[in-house]
Structure 1
Amino acid sequence: MLKAALIRWAVPEDWDKLGELQARSYHDAYRKLLPNDFLNRVTAESRQSECRERLREPEHTGMLLIGHRAVGYISLRFPPDARQADGEVTALYLLREYWGRGLGQRLMAWGLERLREKGCALAGLWVLERNEGARRFYERQGFRADGARRVVTRGEEFVQLRYERMIAE
């Protein structure tokens, strides 16, 4: 049985915990999808450095805590001005040992509610085309591919697909 799970905004003091979580969960998610030489460069230290900077922006990343342990996170991008209604989920990761327990769904619901509170009517995200597990997860959350594609480099070139869903009430 899981201890009570809590989702809250990450604060600047979380930089070390969040960086470690980002590196571990990234490795869990992409172990068989991305080249090992690329994954080996994704370390807690490299992520912590970025987290120090990113957490200076308030209300950007939500952390899922079980007890005092950070086990998942969701990062959001809000529209730059109130006239634009699109928000974005820029990251959603969970440590492998917590997969399949409904915690990813809770993180997504929490993030979509934060986007809705900021006036977003639509939420988008990008997912690797070959990441079938993540694509199925997003589809179960109501996201659908909108036809947009882009190429990203993660040691090699990979295709990402854009998914979106309406979130306005």
Structure 2
Amino acid sequence: MTHWQIRPLTAEHTRGLAECHIACWREAYRGLVPDHLLAAFDVERLTERWERDRVRHPGCLHVAVSEGAVIGFAVAAPDRAADSVAAPQTPVETPVATIQLNAIYVRSPWYGTGLADELLRAAVDPEASCSLWVFEQNPRAQAFYRKHGFELDGARKVEGFSPAMQVRMVRPGR
């Protein structure tokens, strides 16, 4: 397998990011997210959205590129947990994170290669506190985050455009 390069998103790779994003959702969430929602993704609209985000939030989006193709990506920005956090099922003392990992995806041929680890390090300073939302029925992703020091904090919410439940994981800063 060819190696990759991780870099901040540029206009050159915005469409590739949209294609990768759609492919990753279809690979990872079939059976969890309804098929009609996975089929409805539009690469043109998603490319436009990623381009707007690239311009508005420089340095927050990182892509992994191999042989000119985007094979993974990560997005992190200041934590916006206060905007729409569901109350935890059980009260817990969770410090507010400084960074929220909004997305990290790797195409399935690169599962287990270390690419996701590198994307996480590129997107989030290991010293910073961080939060993220992950599908409750995604044990593979939760195990990955646990390996990197994240723990469930008890907060839950329904994903924005599907009936899937999400749970929040947090990692304290060092």
Query: How would you bin the TM-score normalised by the shorter chain?
Result: 0.7 to 0.9
Aligned residue number for residue 102 of structure 1:
114
Measured against aligned partners, the alpha-carbon deviations of 1:13-54 in whole angstroms (never above 9, x if no partner) come to 322111111111121111221110111112322311211211
Residue equivalent to 2:63: 63
Deviations 1:61-80 (A, max 9, x none): 10011232210000011258
Query: Which TM-score applies when normalising by structure 2?
Result: 0.82
On the 8 A contact 2:97/2:170 being kept in 1, the answer is no
Consecutive aligned runs of 4 or more in structure 1 exceeding 3 Å deviation = none
Report the residue type matching 1:70 in the other structure: V
- CA RMSD in angstroms, aligned pairs only: 2.0
Give the length in aligned residue pairs: 158
- CA–CA separation in structure 2 for the residues paired with 1:85 and 1:138: 15
2:77 corresponds in structure 1 to 77
Query: Higher strand proportion, which one?
Result: 1
1:25 is matched with which residue?
24
Answer yes or no: is 1:86 the counterpart of 2:98. Answer: yes
Shift of 1:85: 5.8
The answer as to whether partners of 1:20 and 1:45 remain within 8 angstroms in 2 is: no
The aligned residue for residue 131 of structure 1 is 138
1:165 to 163, 168, 171: 171
| Cα drift, residue 103 of structure 1 | 0.9
Identity over aligned pairs, percent:
25
Which whole-Å CA distance do the structure 1 matches of 2:133 and 2:22 have between them? 19
Q: Which runs of 5+ in 2 are unaligned?
A: 81-95
Structure 1, gaps ≥5 residues long? none
